[in-house]
Amino acid sequence: MLITCPYCGPRDVIEFTYQGDGNRERPDPASQNFEAWNAYVYDRLNPAGDHNEIWQHSGGCRTHLRVVRNTLTHEISSVAFVRGDHASGARRKAEDRS
């Protein structure tokens, strides 16, 4: 499986580390709602089809990426930075290469 890093280009999945479900909302860190924390830590969905995931390019630029991957075919339909503020840096880096 290839993941296209916005900084580094297409790379083999071995360079990436799966960081988890990209749809989950973390409870407030100061919260003492044990049910919310229990659900966040232990409850997992197992969707069939497109799934929003977080990956880190741990073997490269170390950027965290939001990847939409089909769980049945492993086809990746989109890759973006987890935080939008990196996008301008990626454009500048691409412009520097040309």
Residue 74: pLDDT above 80? yes
User: What does the longest C-alpha to C-alpha distance in the chain come to?
Assistant: 52
| pLDDT tens digits, one per residue of 15-72 | 999 998 888 888 999 999 999 999 988 988 888 999 999 999 999 999 999 999 999 9
CA distance linking residue 76 with residue 3, whole number of Å: 7
Helix (H, G, I), strand (E, B) or coil at 43: coil
Q: What is the pLDDT of residue 59?
A: 95
Q: Could you tell me where the DSSP H helices lie in the chain?
A: 34-42, 87-97
Sequence ranges of the domains in the chain:
2-23+35-97
Contact 63, 91 (CB under 8 A): no
Give me the pLDDT at residue 55, please: 97
Q: What pLDDT does 91 receive?
A: 46
pLDDT per residue over 81-96, tens digit each?
A: 998 755 544 444 444 4
To the question of domain 2-23+35-97 being in CATH 3.90.550.10, the answer is no
Q: What pTM, to 2 d.p., does this model score? A: 0.74
For residues 53 and 82, the answer to whether their CB atoms sit within 8 Å is no
